[in-house]
């Protein structure tokens, strides 16, 4: 098990802020009238980051997480977010595209710090999608695993992985 030193802990906290902001900034996640800096939004984001930090990220530090398990982690993040975010989430709830962006970006940051093994997927955003057959698809609107999987399969075909 990898024990973080004070410098790594500081960086991880800062990188969570970056990952969170990247995942929600254009995603129209919140209920109309909800202020991004509100106490409810802060509690929601803290709950998701705590969940990921304690329940999900550690499995990536113990060895390679298989792709199916990675998809399950995203599914579980969506379910968890929808269960704790009732007060702040909009009509469509916490979308799969937003969940994958948060988890994949956080894992990429953790990987760069040497805290986890290489993540199964890169963060899938507009820049990545525009290099696929699905260009023009808005990652913030992806609501189901199946929509995300076809993009991942296209990425894998194009990269030969």
Q: Are 42 and 20 in contact (CB under 8 A)?
A: no
Q: How far apart are CA 122 and CA 155, in angstroms?
A: 10
User: How far is residue 118's CA from residue 78's CA, in Å, rounded to a whole number?
Assistant: 22
Mean pLDDT over residues 71-96, rounded? Answer: 97
Asked whether residue 20 is domain-assigned, the answer is yes
Q: Look at residue 67 and tell me if it is in a domain.
A: yes
| 1 within some domain | no
* Domain total of the chain: 1
Among 93, 100, 88, 85, smallest CA distance to 137 is for 100
In-domain check, residue 71: yes
**Averaged pLDDT, 98-108:** 97
pLDDT score, position 131: 94
The domain containing residue 116 runs over which residues? 6-159
Which among 129, 132, 153 is positioned nearest to 142, based on CA atoms?
Answer: 129
Amino acid 3: pLDDT: 63
Q: What pLDDT is recorded for position 77? A: 98
| pLDDT score, position 108 | 97
Is 29 contained in some domain?
Answer: yes
The pTM of this model reads 0.93
- What distance in Å separates the CA atoms of residue 84 and residue 44, rounded to the nearest whole number? 7
């Amino acid at each position: 098990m990898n024990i973080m030193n004070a410098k790594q802990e500081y960086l991880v906290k800062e990188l969570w802020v970056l990952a969170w902001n990247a995942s929600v900034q254009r995603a129209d996640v919140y209920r109309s009238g909800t202020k991004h800096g509100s106490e409810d939004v802060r509690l929601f984001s803290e709950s998701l980051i705590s969940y990921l930090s304690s329940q999900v990220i550690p499995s990536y530090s113990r060895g390679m997480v298989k792709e199916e398990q990675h998809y399950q982690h995203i599914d579980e993040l969506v379910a968890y977010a929808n269960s704790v975010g009732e007060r702040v989430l909009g009509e469509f709830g916490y979308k799969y595209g937003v969940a994958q962006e948060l988890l994949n970006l956080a894992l990429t940051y953790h990987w760069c710090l040497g805290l986890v093994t290489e993540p199964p997927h890169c963060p899938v955003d507009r820049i990545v999608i525009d290099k696929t057959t699905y260009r023009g698809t808005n990652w913030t609107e992806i609501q189901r695993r199946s929509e995300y999987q076809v993009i991942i399969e296209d990425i894998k075909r194009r990269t030969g992985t």
